Amino acid sequence: MFKSTFIKINFTQSIMVLLLIFSSKIMAQTNQNAVLADNLKWSERTALTILSKYPKAYRIDGTEKPKWDYKMGLVLSAFEKLYQKTNDKKYFDYIKEYADELIDSNGNIIKYDIKEYNIDCANPGKLLFNLYDKTKDERYLKVIKQLRAQLQTQPRTTSGGFWHKQIYPNQMWIDGLYMAEPFYTQYTVKFENGKALDDIAKQFELVQNHLADKKTGLVFQAWDESKEIAWANPETGTSPTIWGRGIGWYMMALVETLDYYPKTHPKYKVLRGYLNQIAKSADQHKSTSGLWYQVADKPDLKDNYLESSSSAMIIYALAKGADKGYLASNYKNVAQKSFDAYLKEFVKKDDKGQVMISNVSSNVGLGGKPFRDGTNDYYIKSKAKDSSSPALAAFMLSAIELNK
């Protein structure tokens, strides 16, 4: 009798589990097949597009296994801002689920190796400040401190700039400023009474002194202090190309660092000055339609094209900078006009109302094997994609900032 009852209970439980699995799959398919309402703002339409395409955030851009990655950090930072604006819990849950899949029960990042000294790893750490404040889960705080420890021992150029990775000795890359400095600033203000603020300002100062082009005021993608690698200019050490997305990374780094940088600190005005300088230069180098090119300073170069991720990043930085008072208010109008042009040039809706964005630059780099020489031709021939994460995230950020 007992055995018979036990078998019946187990059978019932098994059926219930199967029904739950089946119903969750049906719900997921329903979400993917749902048609988005016409009256949605672009920010929420983009967020719902991402949720539908990548129900697990670690799958962004087709990533197959959970990975602590700057791309997820970028996209989820947009979700964080949207959550703060809408208070819609599904956006918070999307962020938390990613963190919980990548951080084990002991508070360690899965497959993270500090010895790689990959500065990109700092970027997702920004998400953990709010997660810790809301949940008081000590795992999040432990990871925050692990990432700060990486920056403490991150290899540096002799002039004090963070190497981009251990495998790129003596090199600062422009996107590294976005990856590290907003996290670094938030940490030092929150936990260290701002003791690292001068060091943070130093990173931007090195960009201004070595990566900013004296002719255009725009920024090159990288600088080799030793001038030894083949892509480096023998006189300046810079890489050959002014990449549109590199400008976007730098401008976002400045506006998001200024969010946490104390106004009373002597370097605050210096950082604002850098933002005003690059904003002015970017404005001068936009196309007649108000967008930016893949090779930003050479619009007439054969096969050069208007590029969507750089354009959205710059629009976001201009709008945010104006809203926060870091930039003059007229930059908000510039951002608005460029956003309108962006919609015409790059954005379409599919038959479900989901967002599609064209002409997204591939993830380009320098050095390595096979060797990437960083020439204008290399950037132009790197195949553009549709709807990859830098454009989706930056478009979402710009739409949030412009209330679109």
Dist CA 351 CA 125 (whole Å): 36
Query: Roughly what angle, to the nearest 10 degrees, separates helices 244-258 and 389-401?
Result: 50
Instruction: Return the percent helix, strand and coil in the chain, to nearest 5.
Output: 60, 5, 35
Cα Rg, the chain, nearest whole Å: 22
Contact (Cβ atoms closer than 8 angstroms) between residue 279 and residue 317:
yes
Give 311's contacts (C-beta < 8 A, 6+ positions apart).
Answer: 244, 248, 291, 292, 338, 342, 346
Nearest to 330 by CA among 292, 260, 276, 287: 276
The total of other beta-carbon atoms located within 10 Å of residue 199's CB is 15
**In residues, how long is the chain?**
404
Q: Please state whether beta strands 347-349 and 355-357 pair in parallel, antiparallel, or not at all (unpaired).
A: antiparallel
Of the candidates 88, 133, 137, 175, the residue annotated as catalytic is: 175
Phi/psi region, residue 61 (left: phi>0; alpha: psi -120 to 50; beta: rest), is left
Paired with 348 in beta bridges are: 356
386 is catalytic: no
Catalytic sites, residue numbers: 175
